[in-house]
Amino acid sequence: MRRRAIPKSVGDVRFLLLTSEEDRYVFVAEWYDPNAALQRRYQLLFYPKDGSVEMYDVKNHRVFLRRTKYDALRKEDLFVGNKINVFSRHLHLVDFGDQYTARRLGSKKEKTLAMIKPDALAKMGSIIQAILDSGLTITMAKMVHLSRTEAMDFYSEHQSKSFFNDLINFMTSGPIVALEIMGDEAITGWRRLLGPTNSSVARSDSPESIRARFGSDGTKNAAHGSDSIASAARHDRIFDTSIHTNKLELEFFFPSSGGRGPRNTATFIQCTCCVIKPHAVSDGLMGKIINYILDEGFEISALQMFTMEKANAEEFYEVYKGVIAEYTEMLGELCSGPCVAMEIRGPDAPRSFREFCGPSDPEIARHLRPKTLRALFGKNKVKNAVHCTDLPEDALLEVQYFFKILDS
């Protein structure tokens, strides 16, 4: 074992006590410290042999986290551009820490926009599940209702086309779901999954594709994707290390410069709150859970992916503090990765949806009410697939917390 020098700059990764033979990956990670209102920068080391992590504070030249086993982080989570959770800190991986990591883990990771159109909203669970089953990852999601101005701005390239007015009328006829998806060659992969633009052609040429299964014609074709790699480039495809970003399309819905993008679709009327918990999102169950909710006859009138800071989770779960024995573990789960919040509507929604979710303990649910959400998708009392509003008087408050307070 040999000691390496403490780094003097971000690019210098010769630090900490390392075994030269031991495989490890190094990334530059950023974390926004809300208390100090500062963006803090770390070097993050991951040891695949035992799943342990280590962190070094770049600015203060000191060890921030000594090597500790952390089962929630996987090698598959490590790529530039991803946001990961390490002991309740949400880290943004902004660069590789050394050439070895870049060679081993640098790949063809790309981000692109997927958009579920108004005609396919009732099938959004199936489309989302198809995306996940294909190996792509959903990193952002938001249901919005485009104004005419927003739709014309997004489709400005087609302004001179004969179908432009019909396209704008269609895209403003109801809510859509915008998704940021990431994966190896995501642009090409998403186009392949979509199939030909015209749904009739898709049914003959690519019958398993999304447009073949859920589309009607060339406009009402279920989902949006860049027309080609060249089209993706036209949308200002940028290179950030190894990540290709369809910048303009993604920025339109998910602005990174402080803007909000199109507004969410929450109605705050006769509704209740459902949150797909991080473990279920990580396990690829998002589409299946959404399908099950829709099949039961409930309306999903708003949907958005959030990554909760600990302070937010404490505010949201405040009513359970000192009441539920698993409170601390519940906080940890809600902060462990992205969750998906939904506004649910239906007859007597708070009561009926809570019954549909089932008992909080999935084992009890499987015994007493085996067709409920938690019975089907839950693991234990903490990782029980979904949170739902317990008390009818809290339903509006919980929906407002996500769609008015956090989405601001």
What order of strands is seen across the sheet that includes strand 52-57?
62-69, 52-57, 38-47, 25-33, 89-96, 83-86
Does residue 374 contact residue 384 with C-beta atoms inside 8 Å? yes
Q: Dihedrals φ, ψ of 362, to 5°?
A: -60, -30
Radius of gyration for the alpha carbons in the chain, expressed in angstroms and rounded: 22
Rounded CA gap, 43 and 299, in Å? 44
C-beta of residue 338 within 8 angstroms of C-beta of residue 305 = yes
Closest-CA residue to 122 (of 216, 226, 186, 193): 216
What distance in Å separates the CA atoms of residue 215 and residue 199, rounded to the nearest whole number?
Answer: 5
User: What is the SS3 assignment for 293?
Assistant: helix
Please identify which of the residues 224, 235, 279, 387 carries the catalytic annotation.
224
Q: How far is CA 361 from the centre of its chain?
A: 26
Q: For residues 211 and 222, is the Cβ–Cβ distance under 8 A?
A: yes
**Which residues have a Cβ under 8 Å from the Cβ of 258 and sit 6 or more positions away?**
none
For residues 180 and 261, is the Cβ–Cβ distance under 8 A?
Answer: no
3-state helix, strand, coil in the chain (%, to 5): 35, 25, 35
User: How far apart are the C-alpha atoms of 64 and 320, rounded to whole Å?
Assistant: 32
Residue for token digits 């000691």? 3
Catalytic status, residue 387 = no
Do the Cβ atoms of 378 and 400 come closer than 8 Å?
no
Residues catalogued as catalytic: 224
